[in-house]
Amino acid sequence: MANNDISKNDKDQNKKRYEQVEKLKAELAKEVKNEFKNVREKKK
Amino acid sequence: MSLKKVKNFVNDPKALLFTELTNLMVISYFLIKKITNISLTDGLNKIFHEGATSFVIAFLLIVILISTIIVAIRIVADKFFAVEIAIGSTAGSNELSKLANKEISSHIKNIRTENKIEFLKHHHFDINIPFIVKELSSHIRDTINSKKVKSRDIFISVYKTTGFEFQNDVRELSYLTHYDPHRDVVVSRTIDLKADKYKNYECVKLFKEGKNLVAKSNCDDYHKTGKRNKKIMHYIAFGLYRDDYLMGVVNIEFLNNKLFNDDDDLEEFVYKNLIGYKHLVEYQFLKRQFFSALEGYYGE
């Protein structure tokens, strides 16, 4: 019977996705922060 | 020193300990003095000479005075300043909602600039699901708020029903992602929902019984099989549905630490803290299916 466990390749691909998530998260966090910064600056 | 700093100082755990211990000692002293007639001055006079006794008494009076001032400031500060609130971190949800809005903006832009409708291409399903799963894992740890629970103690895996995008017949679940990705664990690639081999899997039972939640606080029956299963203390599975159509399953395993006493405890935790994340994952599945239908509709 064929092995039904995820392969090393699946695991590597999964790792890469989380690396992309890290980058995306940092980018979004920066955008959220900038949005807030703009609001604060407008207030001044 | 600003007022906020003063308030923080008088409410600092060390300041609280200092004032409470001082109060306790003063009260205890007067109580003992009343009952036994023992005087601190007499006691000190037996140990030190008179000058030193005066110095010790003066020192103790200063300590009591400082403690009284701190307590007085605390009472005034608590009465007149804003109530101290614990602000939980919402950074994860900020970014997830930002992501959802950004993606919609990008879809609108693509409709206006491209001739061909390619919603599926621009929907980053394979990244969005891991994004939500990662945030879910952090959220669980933040919510439980115990130093005992580390990242490695939460294991999440997500499966989709094969061909759910095209609303194919629900026959099997196929692996989508797991978190933590750095853990070398054994995870099934596909789970045949109709095969005998998998009939005891909770996600299979969930499908067969049409449930959208399984919350097992006692996983002793898992401990008989597999190495990882020995570590599972609690288990949660969310069914991701569009009406009655099962699109996928989110499995959450709590490893190593017993955190919930019974199923009611675990279910309460799920309803209070995790349902929003289940909806976020479900939203991505729905969006995928919607875009697939939309492409089929306009693609002709």
Please tell me the predicted confidence (pLDDT) of residue B9: 84
Please tell me the predicted confidence (pLDDT) of residue B56: 84
Report the 10 Å Cβ neighbour count for B91. Answer: 15
The pLDDT tens digits of the residues spanning B61-94 come to 999 999 999 999 888 877 776 655 555 555 567 8
ipTM: 0.86
The CA distance from A17 to B176, in Å, is: 11
How far away is chain A from the Cα of B1, in angstroms, using its nearest Cα? 24
Contact B234, B216 (CB under 8 A): yes
How far away is chain B from the Cα of A22, in angstroms, using its nearest Cα? 8
Cβ–Cβ contact B226 with A under 8 A: no
* Interchain contact, B91 vs A20, CB within 8 Å: no
How far away is chain B from the Cα of A43, in angstroms, using its nearest Cα? 22
How far away is chain A from the Cα of B126, in angstroms, using its nearest Cα? 8
CA neighbor of B92 nearest in space, from B100, B83, B84: B100
What residues of A are in contact with residue B198 (Cβ under 8 Å)? Answer: none
* Interchain contact, B189 vs A14, CB within 8 Å: no
End-to-end CA distance of chain A: 69
* H-only helix segments in chain B: 3-10, 13-36, 40-47, 50-80, 91-113, 119-122, 125-144, 202-209, 263-273, 275-299
The pLDDT tens digits of the residues spanning A2-44 come to 578 888 999 999 999 999 999 999 999 899 888 887 776 766 6
The tens place of each residue's pLDDT in chain B, 300 residues long, gives 677 778 778 888 899 999 999 999 999 988 888 888 888 877 877 787 777 888 888 888 999 999 999 999 888 877 776 655 555 555 567 888 899 999 999 888 888 887 777 888 889 999 999 999 999 999 999 888 777 788 888 999 999 999 999 888 999 999 999 998 998 787 889 999 999 988 888 899 999 998 999 999 998 887 666 666 668 999 999 999 999 999 999 999 999 888 999 999 999 999 999 999 999 999 999 999 999 998 877 655
At B226, which amino acid appears? G
- If you compute the radius of gyration of chain A from its CA atoms, what whole number of angstroms results? 20
Burial class (CB in 10 A: 0-12, 13-18, 19+), B134: buried
The CA distance from B175 to B126, in Å, is: 11
* Interchain contact, B181 vs A25, CB within 8 Å: no
Measured CB to CB, residues of chain A less than 8 Å from chain B are 4-7, 10-11, 14-15, 17-18, 20-21, 24-25, 28-29, 31-32
